[in-house]
Amino acid sequence: MPDAALLLTCEHAVNAVPERWQHLFQGNTEVLETHLGWDRGAAKLAQTLARELSAPCFMAQVSRLLLDHNRSPHNRMLWSEFSRDLSPPEKTLLLEDFYHPFRDQAGSWLAARHGNGERLVHIAVHSFTPVLDSKVRDIDVGLLYDTARPDEAFFADIWRSRLLASKPTLKVRFNVPYRGRSDCHGRTYRDMYGSRDYVFIELEINQALVADEQGWKAFRKLVTESLRETLSDITSDE
């Protein structure tokens, strides 16, 4: 079986807003520090995985409240309540400066590795708020995948087993807190590559894990080693 070519992306890595568009958040800058503005801890985890597993990592450079890199261009959720009313030229500028370069980087890398005959594994690293609408989300890790793609289901099942083997108390669930088939970055490539050639998993981690510095470091190591083992498993399953 061909080796797995690992790509890491982080669509909600930062809460940055370039000066040109900071006026959109005048009087509301605090929202950028919330889960609406970015995925706290996701960039650090993605960078750790990239470094330890020698994989490329492409990260968004602006807040999701300005432009959501995890949404398709036609999705109305691409723009938030703060950026939705921007003029067409301003939206085009944001797309050209941030969205398309990010998407093109990932797409070009995947195409090149697929052309080399490698199997593609794309992990998008995200995090979620522990409490939403006064409801506690009682999970630690969510592995999101498309249930219609058997190789994604296989990968997620192995990864969950590896995580629990190292830490049985960890609460790991499939397609929680979001559905794995929702519009997202990986949907573009699912339409281009078959299940066997391209595996896309959205890794969702509870932001409560980030608060404890010592525990957060141990958790990043746990995720790294479990992913390393999973990649090894899928390349030796035949």
What CATH number is given to the structural domain containing 97? 3.40.630.40
In the chain, the largest separation of any two C-alpha atoms, in whole Å, equals: 58
- Among residues 113, 7, 105, 115, the alpha carbon closest in space to that of 56 is found at 7
Q: Do 12 and 38 contact (CB within 8 A), yes or no? A: yes
The residue written with tokens 């080399």 in the block is 116
* pLDDT at residue 132, as a whole number: 86
State both tokens at 128.
């979620």
Q: Which residues of the chain fall below pLDDT 70?
A: 1-2, 237-238
* pLDDT at residue 237, as a whole number: 58
* pLDDT at residue 224, as a whole number: 98
Work out the angle at residue 236's Cα, subtended by the Cα atoms of residues 231 and 238, and round it to the nearest 5 degrees.
Answer: 135
Q: Phi and psi (nearest 5°) for 42? A: -65, -45
* pLDDT at residue 133, as a whole number: 82
* pLDDT at residue 2, as a whole number: 61
Q: Give the whole-number percent of the chain exceeding pLDDT 70.
A: 98
Helix (H, G, I), strand (E, B) or coil at 230: helix
Q: What is the DSSP letter of 194?
A: -
**Bond before 168 cis per omega within 30 degrees:** no
Sign for the pseudo-dihedral over CA of 10, 15, 17, 18: negative
CA distance 144 to 138: 16
State both tokens at 183.
């519009």
Q: Do 110 and 190 contact (CB within 8 A), yes or no? A: no
CA distance 110 to 117: 11
Residue 121 pairs with which residues in a beta bridge?
A: 6, 199
* pLDDT at residue 1, as a whole number: 46
Domain count, the chain: 1
* pLDDT at residue 214, as a whole number: 86
Going from the C-alpha of 141 to that of each of 72, 144, 214, 221, the distances in angstroms are 25, 10, 18, 14
Q: Going by C-beta distance under 8 Å and a sequence separation of 6 or more, which residues neighbour residue 27?
A: none
Q: Structural domain of residue 19, as residue ranges?
A: 4-234
* pLDDT at residue 202, as a whole number: 98
Q: Is 159 exposed, middle or buried (0-12, 13-18, 19+ CB in 10 A)?
A: buried
